[in-house]
Amino acid sequence: MGKASRGNAGKQESTRRPGAEWRAALWAVRHPGSLLVPGALGWGCAELGPVTMGVGAGAAAAAAGAWYRGHPDSFDRVVTPRVRSARRRWWTYRGGRWRKAMQDCELFTTHRKTGADHFPRVVKVRAHSPTVDTVWVELARGQSARSFTDRVEELCSALNVERIGIEKVKPRVVGLVVQHAEPFTEVIDAPEMPADSDAVDLSSIYLGDDEFGGDWRESLNGNHWFVAGATGAGKNSIGWSLLRTLAPLIRDGLVRLWVCDPKQMEFAKLAPIAHRYAATDEDCADLIADYVDDLKTAQQDLGGKGKRTLTVSVETPVNLLILDEMGALLAYGDYARDNRRNLAVVGSQGRSSGHHMVGFVQEPTKDTVPVRDLFTVRVCLRLTAAGQVDGVLGEDARLRGALADEIPNVPETAGIGYVVRPRTRVPMRVRAAYVDDREIDQLVNFVRTTTPSGRANLEVVA
Ligand SMILES: Nc1ncnc2c1ncn2[C@@H]1O[C@H](COP(=O)(O)OP(=O)(O)OP(=O)(O)O)[C@@H](O)[C@H]1O
């Protein structure tokens, strides 16, 4: 049961509530649209006549329809989230329904003199995706963010949603990140391997599906990738999907793999097709140092020719540094400092010469991966701590819906995580395609045994 407010001690308090007309006026001030929209329509009809207003409304609806059909990308980016947010605000979180949920969860307080119930107030709703909303809630007097975290199970059941993450936004405001449903219920098949290098587009590499049912693609051009996830989260499937797409380029000598594999598990299969492969601490440190030397040489060659773009050929290939267990390479051991320094060079200078890196890490803290800010594509799979999510995806990513720490630790969720959509900074739930052992062997055999069918010339933009 909600507890009586203890605030305002010593102040003379009335036992009466403000009158209904004042409460209605306050509601109208907080929801100006509820007066302005009908007011504007009424004024329009009176001044311009109902026919003109009808024609205007019809034209606006036709324009919206044309936009919806003609340019789905911009419509879905600009209009759909707003419409969805408004629908959720006035349907899922509308006054009566919200108050009922608060009552069911005992998330309200009762004024000890007037006996009036005070409910936490919904101040803003943003539905960035079909499955996740963020609801900003102003707490009732006497409540704290803890009141919500303690009752999160009850709240999920009262709102009939899958899970809720709680973020403290300001002293009296919490953000509820509400996940309605899990968009991914099936394992996604491994990407096909293109037969020829010409068929590979480095700026659009298929990694799996997004929550909207579309392809999840990332660009390798000009980017370094960072994949964070607790053990068993499915990090490797992202690496293998990338490698399957790159297979013909690896075979044709247009992409060279440099692999640091301290764990010596799955990536050990890359040893026969890698340009360089290392497993011990010392060998990994040598490999990374040599990678930086290679980068510097390529930079000088490009500079000497006065070029800003790399034309990929056997003589000037794309180089890909794969770092499994980055934490082990950067945080502990005799070579950690050298590795950190070298990777900072790759991170800041490698892109122009086609020297990319893909790093995998279980614990993405600033201490274990101090160079994480140099990675331009970041994937956040299941994590063990809420505080790590923003570290991977950027400030407020969790508040905007990236509930990576709430992904259940069960095999059915492997490969599920978040990326941030570049133009909107909104997290998007994705699932990586799953590459099984047979498909990994198929990739290695393809690179080792098939014959090149022609050389591609790829432009890598600096
Ligand atoms: N994309 C995926 N879809 C479905 N299942 C997956 C996916 N990726 C991995 N799995 C399953 O989850 C298990 C663990 O995956 P994986 O070894 O890639 O995790 P990880 O994050 O690399 O863990 P670790 O850091 O311990 O190596 C796999 O054996 C597989 O069964």
State the average pLDDT over residues 333-349. Answer: 91
Tens-digit pLDDT profile for residues 384-397: 998 899 989 988 88
Q: Find the 157 Cα to ligand 1 centroid distance in Å.
A: 30
The region of weakest confidence among 95-104, 173-182, 342-351, 450-459 is 450-459
Query: Is a pLDDT exceeding 90 seen at residue 41?
Result: no
- Nearest-atom index, ligand 1, CA of 362: 25
Helices (H), 353-459: 387-393, 437-449
Q: Which two tokens stand for residue 384?
A: 């063990």
- Nearest-atom index, ligand 1, CA of 235: 21
Tens-digit pLDDT profile for residues 230-278: 999 999 999 999 999 999 999 999 999 999 999 888 799 999 999 999 9
Query: Is a pLDDT exceeding 50 seen at residue 332?
Result: yes
Are 428 and 377 contacting, i.e. CB atoms less than 8 angstroms apart? no
Q: What is the pLDDT of residue 462?
A: 38
Q: Which two tokens stand for residue 164?
A: 């809720």
Which residues sit with their C-beta closer than 6 Å to ligand 1?
187, 229, 231-237, 362, 411, 414-415, 432, 434
Under DSSP, is residue 177 helix (H, G, I), strand (E, B) or coil?
strand
Which amino acid, one-letter code, is at 380? C
Assign 1 a pLDDT band (cuts: 50, 70, 90): very low
What is the overall mean pLDDT for the chain? Answer: 86
pTM of the model: 0.77
Q: What is the pLDDT of residue 410?
A: 92
**Which residue has the CA at smallest separation from atom 8 of ligand 1?**
234
Q: What is the pLDDT of residue 12?
A: 61
- Residue ranges of the chain that CATH labels 3.30.980: 87-181
How far apart (Å, rounded) are the C-alpha atoms in residues 46 and 40?
A: 10
Tens-digit pLDDT profile for residues 127-180: 877 888 889 999 998 888 888 888 888 999 999 998 888 888 888 899 888 888
Q: Find the 191 Cα to ligand 1 centroid distance in Å.
A: 16
Best CA proximity match to 420, nearest among 178, 216, 135, 220: 216
Q: Find the 432 Cα to ligand 1 centroid distance in Å.
A: 10
Annotation: binding site: 229-236
Q: What is the pLDDT of residue 9?
A: 47
Q: Find the 113 Cα to ligand 1 centroid distance in Å.
A: 58
**Which residue has the CA at smallest separation from atom 11 of ligand 1?**
414
- Nearest-atom index, ligand 1, CA of 411: 12
Are 417 and 229 contacting, i.e. CB atoms less than 8 angstroms apart? yes
**Which residue has the CA at smallest separation from atom 13 of ligand 1?**
232
Q: What is the pLDDT of residue 173?
A: 92
State the average pLDDT over residues 339-362. Answer: 92
Tens-digit pLDDT profile for residues 320-330: 999 998 988 88
Tens-digit pLDDT profile for residues 181-212: 888 989 999 999 998 898 999 999 999 998 87
State the average pLDDT over residues 337-348. Answer: 93
State the average pLDDT over residues 112-132. Answer: 85
- Residue ranges of the chain that CATH labels 3.40.50.300: 197-461
Q: What is the pLDDT of residue 452?
A: 66
Q: Find the 249 Cα to ligand 1 centroid distance in Å.
A: 25
How far apart (Å, rounded) are the C-alpha atoms in residues 370 and 377?
A: 16
- Nearest-atom index, ligand 1, CA of 432: 1
Q: Find the 16 Cα to ligand 1 centroid distance in Å.
A: 61
Q: What is the pLDDT of residue 247?
A: 94
Annotation: binding site for ATP: 229-236
- Nearest-atom index, ligand 1, CA of 236: 18
How far apart (Å, rounded) are the C-alpha atoms in residues 54 and 184?
A: 43
Fold of 87-181: Threonyl-tRNA Synthetase; Chain A, domain 2 (3.30.980)
Query: Is a pLDDT exceeding 80 seen at residue 14?
Result: no
Q: What is the pLDDT of residue 289?
A: 96
> Tokens 């097709």 sit at which residue?
273
Helices (H), 49-119: 50-70, 72-78, 80-90, 95-104
CATH 3.50.50.60 correct for 197-461: no
> Tokens 């036709």 sit at which residue?
62
Q: Find the 411 Cα to ligand 1 centroid distance in Å.
A: 8
Q: What is the pLDDT of residue 328?
A: 85
- Nearest-atom index, ligand 1, CA of 238: 1
How far apart (Å, rounded) are the C-alpha atoms in residues 299 and 418?
A: 34
ipTM of the complex: 0.96
Choose one of 231, 241, 326 to mutate for the ligand 1 pocket test, by most ligand atoms within 8 angstroms of C-beta. 231
**Which residue has the CA at smallest separation from atom 9 of ligand 1?**
234
Q: What is the pLDDT of residue 334?
A: 86
Choose one of 434, 435, 438 to mutate for the ligand 1 pocket test, by most ligand atoms within 8 angstroms of C-beta. 434
> Tokens 């307080």 sit at which residue?
109
Q: What is the pLDDT of residue 423?
A: 66
Query: Is a pLDDT exceeding 90 seen at residue 305?
Result: no
Percentage of the chain exceeding pLDDT 70? 93
